[in-house]
Amino acid sequence: MGYNIGVRLIEDFLAKSNTGHCASFRETAEVISKVGFKVFMNVTPTVTGWAQDGKSFGLVFEENPLADFVELPDDGRAQEELWYSNILSGVVRGALEMVSYVLVFSVGGWWFRSMRMWC
């Protein structure tokens, strides 16, 4: 979910941000956090939890703008089964694949407070 959006969004991102090639995966993480999410969603997640080998990190969100206008039913089922914020990982994956990164994601539930990426 969101992959095709990311494939198209990367062109807009590169045009708006005027960023060049990132020299490392760490720099890529910082650009995703501080530029990408800020430009398109007006949030800046924290880059955290780097693996020893430098091939995985986490993004922690203080707020999720996708959740601002969503009302879930009180039956409890929707909160366990509806993970609409997974679209964010799809968007990031699609965008980064267009610039030659292949990533695997893990996201945390409907409330979406964190995203983990492996290179």
8 Å CB contact between 65 and 45: no
Confidence of residue 106 (pLDDT cuts 50, 70, 90): low
58, β-bridge pairs: 48, 116
Q: Where are the domains of the chain?
A: 3-68+79-118
The stretch 56-70 carries a mean pLDDT of: 80
Residue 65 DSSP symbol: G
Kindly report the pTM of this predicted structure.
0.78
Locate 101 and state its tokens: 């990164």
Distance CA 101, CA 119 (A): 7
Position 72 scores a pLDDT of 72
Spatial distance between the Cα atoms of 62 and 78, rounded to a whole number of angstroms: 22
**CATH superfamily membership of 3-68+79-118:** Trafficking protein particle complex subunit 3 (3.30.1380.20)
Alpha carbon 52 to its chain centroid, in Å, reads 21
Above 70 in pLDDT, residue 11?
yes
